[in-house]
Amino acid sequence: MNNDNCVFCRIANGEIPAHFVYNDDDVMAILDINPVAKGHMLVIPKYHAKYYHELPEKYAKKIATTLLLVTKALEAENYNILQNNGKLAGQEVPHVHFHVIPKPSKDEGLGIRFPSKQETSEALTELAKEIKEKIDKLL
């Protein structure tokens, strides 16, 4: 499944060049054109879906094994794996992709804001129940 207007589909089809580090029938890993740090890579399924949850399981599994490969090859002591879904969440290219971003120093790589809040145990129990019920329906 691909989309003629999508930059990652066009890279997958060989219409736009990229620096490949891994490539097979289902997934590719390329260097990010505007790296946040040296070695910033993107792991991209060869299936056009905007959101991670829209991926067929086959592609999700291939992404997982490819992430293992590229992170082993990276040999970084510190790194982040990031995957943005939706504009508010920072997604610019509407085709699923995982960022692998080395964090060589405090000032290089990804800056993370983690605005944690306190939550009651009762509220967490209720929320876990709601989500678990939905998961049980999906199984």
**Cβ 33 to Zn ion shortest distance, Å:** 16
Checking DSSP bridges between strand 79-82 and strand 98-102, what pairing results, if any?
Answer: antiparallel
6 binds, options ligand 5GP, Zn ion, none, Cβ within 5 to 8 A by partner type? Zn ion
Q: Which residues form the interface with ligand 5GP (CB under 6 A)?
A: 7, 16, 18, 30, 32-34, 84, 90-93
Of 42-50, 71-79, 117-125, 131-139, which segment contacts Zn ion by CB under 5 A?
Answer: 42-50
Task: Name the active-site residue from 40, 48, 95, 97.
Answer: 97
Q: Say whether 99 is catalytic.
A: no
How far apart CA 61 and CA 24 sit, in angstroms, is 14
9 binds, options Zn ion, ligand 5GP, none, Cβ within 5 to 8 A by partner type? Zn ion
CB-side exposure of 64: number of CA atoms within 13 Å?
Answer: 8
Query: Tokens 């505007």 belong to which residue?
Result: 34
How far apart CA 61 and CA 80 sit, in angstroms, is 19
Closest CA to 90 of 106, 105, 111, 76: 111
Of 5-13, 16-24, 34-42, 120-128, which segment contacts Zn ion by CB under 5 A?
Answer: 5-13
CA-to-CA dists, residue 108 to 17, 31, 40, 96, 126, angstroms: 27, 17, 11, 24, 39
Q: Which amino acid would we find at residue 94?
A: P
Of 37 and 136, the one with the shorter C-beta distance to ligand 5GP is 37
26 binds, options ligand 5GP, Zn ion, none, Cβ within 5 to 8 A by partner type? none
List interacting residues with Zn ion (CB under 5 A). 3, 6, 8-9, 48, 95
* Residues catalogued as catalytic: 97
